[in-house]
A and B are shown apart, each in its own frame.
Chain A
Amino acid sequence: MRTGLDSRRNERLAFFDMMLSDERGRRAVAQVVVGVVVLLILARFALGIAADFQKQGLTPGFGFLSNTAGFGISESRSFTETDSYWQAFRVGLENTLRVAILGIFLATPLGALIALSRLSGNPIASRISAAYIEIFRNTPLLVQLIFWYQGVLLRLPGLADAITWSPGGGGDSGFGEITWLALSQKGMALPRIIPGDGSWAIFAAVVVGGVVAAVVVSWRRRRSATNGGRSFGFAFAVVAWAAIVASAWLAVGRGAFELELPTVDRFRYGGGTILNPEYSALLIGLVAYTAAFIAEVVRGGIQSVSGGQFEAGRAVGLSEAQLLRHVVLPQALRVIVPPLTNQYLNLTKNSSLAIYIGFPDLFNVSLTIGNQTGQFVIVTAMIMAVYLALSLLSSMAMNLYSRRVRLVER
């Protein structure tokens, strides 16, 4: 076909022809094109960043992190202005984890409760749950958060008129009124548990008790497997654990823990655990919002267990509790756990909305660092690395779990 006069042109054409007619050649061309385009974009990005560094007279690297921060963080007692940026970043990370972990612990039971009430068969309770879910899922989390913060928590009475709960009369310590629980514009004050001299013994007893309980469970299981009859493993384990912890507590006596009650005067809280309004608003907002999503996840999981399973369980004479424990939950959890982890991850990521209400979480603190040093690129990379690490960890855990609970088909 190609016997033209210009042989060089022919050669070139032949080369392209070869590249594009052959499947492997086509693939190679496609990859090279995509690679070059992406590289060009990245290069533009890198050049822009480099130019920005030069313009601002910054040196790339992590060295700036050991400089003195020069700003305070309201949420941390230990952090002071003379600490380094590195310390500030760490405090931000701690704050994020503090909100996320407590939030997960509170949102899970609340969500499960809402799901159960949705499925309770009680027309009123189930409609309340439905309304809760619709309202919290269909309005933006950020609007809710700001409402909790500016609309509720900052509208509480001032310290002078704080709402207090003091069973046993309270009394005055000289630093203000002693109370168990105080609620005001300045946040919530709760008693603080201070570990005493003997607290190590209690912790040790909790651990030892756990080991003993595990041994007891396996012993009861084996016994019931050989001798028949019910194992009561769980009941035995609880009794064993409680006995060990209680005896340790009795042995240590009053030195185990000390309870520090908060005090309230006109200007400040003293002692106790203080949850300031920013933290409380973030926590309440995240828990209320995530619980609505968790409720839907749990409901989906329970409904995924087919009705025949319930009937079969009852037919072989299981009690309602046994039915739930041995038939429904194992199957429902397989469906529930993956999306539930996703919700936990969402809660953690959503805690970055803290910046809108002034809570110093990872993102907020990092932004302050970026503003002060101009090292936005590195700071942003650090934030993204932390969140990515969290999401990778959880997806790894999820894969392990899915492998463990996978249906074994014969």
Chain B
Amino acid sequence: MKSVMATWSAEWVGLRRQAQIKGPLWAAGQVILTVAALWLIWVVVAGGSRWVLEIARWEVISANLRLFTVGRYPATEAPVIIGFALLGEAGGSGVWRPAAALIAVSAGIGLADGLGGRRGSSAFIAKAIGLLLVLPIVAVPVSVFSPAVADLLTAFSSGRARLGLAIAALAIGWLVGRQVRTAVPDTVLWTRRLRFAERAAWALGLVGALILIAGFEPWLEAVPSARWGGLLLTLILAAASIVLSFPIGVMLALGRRSTLPLVRLICVTYIEVIRGVPLVTVLYMASLMLPLVIGQEIRLPDVLKGIAGLTVFASAYLAEDVRGGLAAVGMGQFEASKAVGLGTFATYRLIVLPQAIRAVIPAVAGQFISLFKDTSLVVIIGLRELLGTARNVASQGEFLGLFREALVFIAIIYFFFSLTMSRESRKLEARLSAGDQRGGRE
């Protein structure tokens, strides 16, 4: 609060000084601008708050909260202990597997961040879950102004046990990771092992979550991807296409710089064609053409088609971003690494790519954010992620025509994720450039 006050008063002083320099005409212009801006704020805030507090019928969200979070993910029988922890009853059945997946991811990321000695993604997850936990508490004062909004906020309390466990898993993972980090000796070998453990923790969390969601016969009943939906599906689509498109993008970027004419030609054609056409056409092609390529006998789930389309699209853009980074690595780096006897592969893996990717973190993060937002386009192949759910919910007889409420709700979710991702990328960038100067353990 204090810093906000300081900024505002500094700006005010600056304005007054500028007014002295630039004369009364400029000052009058600023006054008019200020009045117009205040009027605009008044119009938007007054109209917006009236809609949010009085007109909007938020019961469409609270009644369908499950559809918005996991879609039509089925209730399955839970093992005794897990059922007790997640559902509050031993051996009961309910939608426990997505919650368990969230806990697995939280534990993995917490452990990884703890091992790496940073807060990074853990802080983000903790903040997001914490926010959800606080919402029902905020509902009490809000109910004075608007019972409808208060009801919506209270609706989030149904998941509090699971969210609390996820935060606990995150915290425990982080503490364990940090303990290990401080326990091991500060040598090159152990730093490398820590790094490996960090990546393994990430991978374990994600793979564990995927197994929990998709199932693993015969131990865990399979849940077909057609039943995934809502935020769960949006996150799966985004995570899968980010994880897949990045290595492909890097390979395409390297291929584009290759000295082999044929390789270069193929990569350039791929990148330019994909970047030249809209994502809808690529998604549409993926849903239409993939069966032709892999044979129509195999029925490909729609989710895979969506992931394929998004990956094909994003990898071309990522390739261009990475190429920019490769161009920024000087020739001297190649020569030096050749001089110390590294081969081509080792040169790229150890010397060139780390520098190139570090240089383009903002661009790559921007690409990931676009990709996250672009997952909404998969409605065209019939997937019910967030947008599909919103559309679906607003066509239920009971809530017919409450599309606006649903759209605003999912827009807030998208906004939260995108904004946080861009903030985190800025922090990461700052941390890496600081590490550059100090040459710390990182």
Task: Tell whether A and B belong to one assembly.
Answer: yes
Which A positions have Cβ atoms within 8 angstroms of B?
Answer: 27, 30-31, 34-35, 38, 41, 44-45, 48-49, 51-52, 117, 120-125, 128, 134-135, 137-144, 146-147, 150-151, 155, 349-350, 352-353, 355-356, 363, 367, 376-377, 380, 383-384, 387-388, 390-392
CB contacts (< 8 Å) of A355 on chain B: these are 280, 380
Contact residues of B between 361 and 394, Cβ < 8 Å to A? 369, 373-374, 376-377, 379-380, 387, 391
CB contacts (< 8 Å) of A45 on chain B: these are 289, 292-293
Instruction: Please indicate which of the listed interface residues B262, B276, B377 has the most CB atoms of chain A within 10 Å of its own CB.
Output: B276
CB atoms of B415 and A142 under 8 A apart: no
CB atoms of A140 and B37 under 8 A apart: no
CB contacts (< 8 Å) of A391 on chain B: these are 272, 275-276
CB contacts (< 8 Å) of A150 on chain B: these are 403-404, 407
CB atoms of A125 and B276 under 8 A apart: no
How far does the alpha carbon of A44 sit from the alpha carbon of B279 in the complex, in Å? 24
Instruction: Please indicate which of the listed interface residues A27, A143, A367 has the most CB atoms of chain B within 10 Å of its own CB.
Output: A143
CB atoms of A142 and B275 under 8 A apart: no
Known: A121-B14, A139-B415. A384 touches B277 (CB 8 A): yes
CB atoms of A120 and B33 under 8 A apart: yes
CB atoms of B410 and A121 under 8 A apart: no
Interface flag for B24 (CB, 8 Å)? no
How far does the alpha carbon of A376 sit from the alpha carbon of B292 in the complex, in Å? 12
Known: A31-B263, A34-B266, A45-B292. A138 touches B415 (CB 8 A): yes
Residue of B nearest to A150 (CB): B403
How far does the alpha carbon of A255 sit from the alpha carbon of B391 in the complex, in Å? 52
Contact residues of B between 242 and 294, Cβ < 8 Å to A? 259-263, 266, 272-273, 275-281, 284-285, 288-289, 291-293
Interface flag for B418 (CB, 8 Å)? yes
Question: Dominant SS at the B interface?
Answer: helix
CB contacts (< 8 Å) of B40 on chain A: these are 128
Residue of B nearest to A366 (CB): B281
Known: A142-B387, A355-B280. A30 touches B263 (CB 8 A): yes
Known: A35-B262, A48-B295. A387 touches B281 (CB 8 A): yes
How far does the alpha carbon of A44 sit from the alpha carbon of B374 in the complex, in Å? 29
What count of chain B residues pass the 8 Å CB interface test? Answer: 58
How far does the alpha carbon of A144 sit from the alpha carbon of B87 in the complex, in Å? 37
CB atoms of A139 and B380 under 8 A apart: no
CB atoms of B281 and A147 under 8 A apart: no
CB atoms of B278 and A122 under 8 A apart: no
Interface flag for B18 (CB, 8 Å)? yes
Known: A121-B18, A128-B37, A391-B275. A151 touches B410 (CB 8 A): no
Contact residues of B between 392 and 438, Cβ < 8 Å to A? 403-404, 407-408, 410-411, 414-415, 418-419, 422
Binary per-residue interface labels of chain B (12-37) against chain A in the complex, 1 for a CB within 8 Å, 0 otherwise: 10110010000000000010011011
Instruction: Please indicate which of the listed interface residues A27, A117, A138 has the most CB atoms of chain B within 10 Å of its own CB.
Output: A138
- Extra contacts besides A45-B289, A150-B407, A384-B277 (16): CB < 8 Å: A38-B266, A122-B33, A124-B38, A128-B41, A134-B419, A138-B415, A141-B373, A142-B387, A143-B387, A144-B411, A146-B407, A147-B404, A363-B281, A387-B276, A390-B276, A391-B275
CB atoms of A122 and B414 under 8 A apart: no
CB contacts (< 8 Å) of B260 on chain A: these are 27, 30-31, 34
B276: contacting residue among A117, A123, A392, CB under 8 A: A392
How far does the alpha carbon of A383 sit from the alpha carbon of B278 in the complex, in Å? 10
CB contacts (< 8 Å) of B266 on chain A: these are 34, 38
CB atoms of A384 and B281 under 8 A apart: yes
B278: contacting residue among A51, A135, A143, A352, CB under 8 A: A352
